[in-house]
Chains A and B, each alone.
Chain A
Amino acid sequence: MSKTVHEVPNPPLLDRYTPWAGTAARLIVGGVWLVAGALKVTDLRSSIRAVQVYELLPNSIAEIVGIVLPLVEVGIGALLILGLATQASAVVSTLLLLAFIVGIASAWARGLQIDCGCFGGGGQLGEGESPQYLVEILRDIGLLALSALLIWRPTTRYSIDSILFKTK
């Protein structure tokens, strides 16, 4: 009889707390995307320039990325904060962060003197300013870890997903 009691779903300790950790991850990563995108949408030309200075993409593609990226950042940020399509948003978030890490690392390796342009701004650095590549990469790795958590356990508290899809 005691056996059957154990078969009633009784989530292990980890599973009881990950939804809360997921909510925190959603708000942090979503908040960062929302702010990063919002700071760029008002000046999309600067956003294009910020992409161009990496010298990684041909100009026509840099232009498209510079225009679309800030808006996608805002959108993904909003989805994560709302907890709608969490897993898919986290996948996009992860891919973007991986791309950024590669971009920054490559700028670092090539000795470029640029600002990552992560939160608006961007472009060449002036004299007396040194690039912050390590800090930028570490920050992105932190956000990457949180995004990965959301891919692994997309069910989180206070999310629209949990209302739409009762996966409890």
Chain B
Amino acid sequence: MADVTEGATPTSRPSALRALAKGMSVTFRHMFRRKVTVPFPDVRRTKPARFHGRHVLNRYPDGMEKCIGCELCAGVCTARCIYVRGADNPPDAPVSPGERYGYVYEINFLRCIFCALCVEACPTEAITMTHLFEFSFTSRDEAIYTKDELLVEADGTPRARRHHGPPPVGLDRQGWVQATSSSGAVAYEGRVAWSPEPVIGPRPPEPDQATADAVPGAARAEGGADGADGAPVDEGAGSHH
């Protein structure tokens, strides 16, 4: 025990002073390095293309809501934070194309883990994720976003809460972030896989898709799932192309 304590004494070794000088020089040199942080509200970093920000409920270019109230997102949600109630479309003033629409749509962002399983489950690409991440709540009720906040504007831009500041510009405000291709197919390199958003337009394909998808096992595994949900996705995509 005694020699352990002696060995750990900072000044008992001749190298301690040299180690101190070395450490001091490291911190001194770091003072003149380029800083890794940005003064956030003034300077905003561009988020990664697939950043999982808060959700939006999308519309077709004609203004119709994409949500059909099927509750698949609520069923797949691991955090059980989505609450959906569907209702029959009023024949004279339909909210969405088809029979039903999302009458109630609520996400509790205190529970949401931003896994984007709801985005993958959605057959009509109604729910997608944005690059918006500036949440601030003053109550638990306020953390539950309803259709009022989630539904995009007529021009396709996400609604911002008044205290969340102006929405970011460019790609960062686009409401289209998906973990996989919209069709579920893996081999979609070179094509624009994301559906065009009204007004903002299609997102260019990501450059390194070919190398990212070149894993042979993954392609086969996801090919099976393709057949299951491929049909409704193609239907939904076709209706607004």
Q: Verify that A and B bind, or say they do not.
A: no
Residues of A that sit less than 8 Å from B by CB:
none
